[in-house]
Amino acid sequence: MKKIAFGTYRISNHNPEHITALKHAIKSGVRMIDTSSNYMDGGAERAIALALQSFDEDVRDEMEIVSKFGYIQNDNMARHKENPFEEVVEYSENCFHCISQDFIQDQLAKSLERLEVKTIDCYLIHNPEYYLLDAINHGVEKDDRLDEMYKRLFDAFMSLELAVQNGHIKSYGISSNSFSKLRSDEEFLPYEDLLTLVEDAASELGNEFHSFTTIELPLNILEKNGLKCTAWAKENGLRVLVNRPLNAQHDGLMYRLADYDESREYYNHFNELMEVSDNESLRALFNLLEQLDDNKHKFAWIGDYDSFLYSQIIPHIKKIIEVLDEENIQSMLNRIDLFLSEYRKMVAYECSKHTRKILKDTLVECKLSMQECALTFLLQRKSVDFILVGMRKVSYINEVLALEEK
């Protein structure tokens, strides 16, 4: 069985390319799809249902769908404000979190509906440590916050064990970023205590065996602290899923563990746009383009650029071109779109050069591309069962699966 699984973090049911990618992955032998109720506000689960409609029952039976719950955002946030859920952690203005029993039942029902299945193969509590983060921010003592965390987890395990009894899920587990923290870190979730809570929950419901089977955590060539957790999991007969294999946190920064080619068309589009902007009415755009070109090497991670693009660049450009008439605005938007597409490629290329410098010692023995080195590192780990890779394009699926077959 393939060790590569399909991660659906940014998969949408409204994007035909994403549906095509899912179908191609299944046809290529991928048998696990990881998703969550909050991915694209449920759109990822709907996309999975759409993709599976193209396959016969035998193939669908072979597929394992892993979904998660915990976040209150978007539609869940609107519903919560009308009819509040219990024990909600209000972590930030746009991100609440909850693992209460009523929320589990609500989210499970909605995931089953969106996925168009009667049973979810594995259902994970998604980052329960949000309670710990919030408690730390509010100055709650460590012993007190852990006691409350364990109480909330025990109640959640009770609900999940009952869901197994009722046939709504086959097994369950936890996906936690805290599993990859150092034990000394305030955000660390002591995973060694989980099985005691699980066994107690199963026993209280009269289950001879518990159905806690799976943990999921970030692990990659830069973030290796989670290897201790994966070793513990295997010693206790648990399955290990790894996320963020190519997006690493290091010294408070994010890095994309992949090589990108320099754009061949960037300067053509840049020079053309500079030329048409070299006039009094578009002087602000001319200056912006100069600044962007000068700073394309200053982003550490492509995600930083994407956030900057939507929060700063696009709103600024829209305001600048308001002076144009309708016909010229459309022409200018086409030029800007071509430029920004190539500019992003240049930013990604500069980011990959910077990341290679950071990883020069780590990559000294690996002569492959950065993404191949990163994935090979995980493929060789006996304590890792599945590697969740976001694969939104057919070409990317082929590249990743070819690496596994080497």
Average pLDDT of the chain?
A: 95
How does residue 282 score in pLDDT terms, banded at 50, 70 and 90? very high
- pLDDT digits 0-9 by tens, 205-217: 999 999 999 999 9
Which tens digit of pLDDT belongs to each residue from 167-209?
999 999 999 999 999 999 999 999 999 999 999 999 999 999 9
Query: Could you tell me what percent of the chain has a pLDDT over 90?
Result: 89
Confidence at residue 253, expressed as pLDDT on a 0 to 100 scale: 86
And the tokens for 313? 């660049």
Contact criterion met (CB below 8 Å) for 34 and 66: yes
What is the per-residue pLDDT for 1?
67
Given a cut of 80, is residue 256 above it in pLDDT?
A: yes
- Per-residue pLDDT, 242: 98
Element (H, E) at 248: strand 247-250
pLDDT for res 250: 81
pLDDT of 75-95, one tens digit each? 999 999 999 999 999 999 989
Q: What is the pLDDT of residue 273?
A: 96
Name the residue among 236, 219, 220, 142 with its Cα closest to residue 184. Answer: 142
Kind of pairing between the strands at 239-243 and 212-218: parallel
Quick one: pLDDT at residue 324?
86
At residue 343 the predicted structure's pLDDT band, cuts being 50, 70 and 90, is very high
pLDDT of residue 129: 96
Kindly state the average pLDDT of the residues 3-21.
96
Q: What is the DSSP string of 183-242?
A: TTSTT---GGGHHHHHHHHHHHTT-SS--EEEEEEE--SS--TTHHHHHHHHHTT-EEEE
Rounded to an integer, what distance in angstroms lies between the CA atom of residue 141 and that of residue 189?
Answer: 15
Residue in 99, 85, 217 with CA at minimum distance from that of residue 154: 99
Q: Examine the pLDDT at 98 and tell me if it is beyond 90.
A: yes
Q: Calculate the CA dihedral of residues 318, 319, 322, 327 and round it to 10 degrees.
A: -10
Select the more confidently predicted residue: 366 or 140: 140
pLDDT for 23 equals: 97
| Inter-helix orientation angle 142-165/101-115, to 10° | 50
Domain 4-257+367-404 fold is TIM Barrel (3.20.20)
Which pLDDT value is given to residue 240?
A: 98
Q: Rounded to whole angstroms, how far apart are CA atoms 215 and 34?
A: 12
Q: What is the mean pLDDT of residues 275-287?
A: 94
At 33-47, the pLDDT tens digits run 999 999 999 999 999
Dihedral, 367, 368, 370, 375 alpha carbons, nearest 10: -120
| Lookup result for tokens 């916050």 | 145
Q: How much is the average pLDDT of 225-239?
A: 97
What are the extents of the domains in the chain?
A: 4-257+367-404, 266-358
- Averaged pLDDT, 307-330: 90
141-158: pLDDT as tens digits: 999 999 999 999 999 999
Angle at 216 between CA 210 and CA 222, to 5 degrees: 150
Distance between CA atoms of 155 and 146, rounded to whole angstroms? 14
Q: Which of 85, 123, 84 is nearest to 214 (CA)?
A: 123
Residue 252 has what pLDDT? 82
Q: Contact 61/30 with Cβ under 8 angstroms?
A: no
